[in-house]
Amino acid sequence: MNTLLIILAIVTFVSTIIGGLVIIKLRKFLPYFFAFAAGSLVAVSFLEILPESLSIAGGVGFPTRYIFLIVVLSFFVYSLLEKFFLTHHHDLEDSDCKHECKKHHEEDSHGHIMGPIGAGSLVLHSFLDGAAIGAAFQVNAATGLIVALAVIFHDFTDGINTVIMMLKNKQNMKSTITFLILDALAPVAGVLATNLVAIPQKALAIILAVFVGEFIYIGASNFLPEAREHTSKWIIAALALGILLITVLTMIV
């Protein structure tokens, strides 16, 4: 395997870890990171993932209408998932309160299931990022380097979003660190996988469309309302920074 490719894969791992550790160390600023994550998730959905999905779909003759339908269905399914699990979670809390064990439940709870679901999707997305690096290097080294640099910066925000998603949904630190490490390893695995198996283009377009619906839902319906509970003017600045960063990164490639 190309030595430069191996080095870049390692850098993506480090970039993701650093992004996650920044959040863990600065948890008191979580409302601002919620706003940043909301902006970056929505921006990356519209500016990077959806255009890529449409481009791939167009190349294999898969109707554009179906891509948008998948995005809408994904948004709907994730809203139903959160509604179901959130209701179930509150029912458990009410039952615990009746037994005067709410405090114990909060300390020992595994948290909201949407944390692992959302973080798991980011892990899969990071895997596809790594696969994109490997595929780009199969074109030529220059193209591979450009894509890799964009992914490295993007994976820094992925590390941020993974940790925020877990902490927002009351997951414990051990689980949060586990998903951060998985997210950091995912692009490395994606790079390696490109030398072993290729994802069918139509399947890849569908997977990316599913990510778009999920990330729009998480950013706009989950993170943004959480951030808006705080009246600081810096919340809007953090939201704008998340959008701006992704915009700049997508312009690099």
| Tokens 């941020």 -> residue | 160
Q: What's the pLDDT band for 248 if we cut at 50, 70, 90?
A: confident
Alpha carbons 236 and 228: distance in angstroms, whole number:
9
Report d(CA 19, CA 164) in Å as an integer. Answer: 11
pLDDT averaged over every residue in the chain: 78
Sorting pLDDT into bands at 50, 70 and 90, what band is 54? very high
What is the predicted pLDDT for the residue at 91? 46
8 A C-beta contact, residue 25 and residue 176: no
List, for residues 201-220, the tens digit of each pLDDT value: 888 888 888 888 877 887 88
- C-alpha 164/C-alpha 238 separation (Å) is 14
Give me the mean pLDDT over the 222-227 stretch. Answer: 72
Q: Band of the pLDDT at 104, cuts 50, 70, 90?
A: very low
More confident of the two residues 76 and 120: 76
Distance CA 148, CA 145 (A): 5
Domain ranges of the chain: 3-252
Instruction: Round to whole Å and give the CA distance between 189 and 130.
Output: 7
**Contacts for 228-235 with beta carbons within 8 Å, 24 or more apart?**
229/31, 230/31, 232/31, 232/32, 234/32, 235/31, 235/32, 235/35
- Provide the token pair at 108: 């020992």
pLDDT at 99 over 80: no
Residue 17 has a pLDDT of: 92
Q: Is the full-model pTM beyond 0.75?
A: no
Q: Please give the pLDDT value at position 85.
A: 52
Among candidate residues 194, 118, 153, 171, the one with its CA nearest the CA of residue 48: 153
Mean pLDDT along residues 177-194: 89
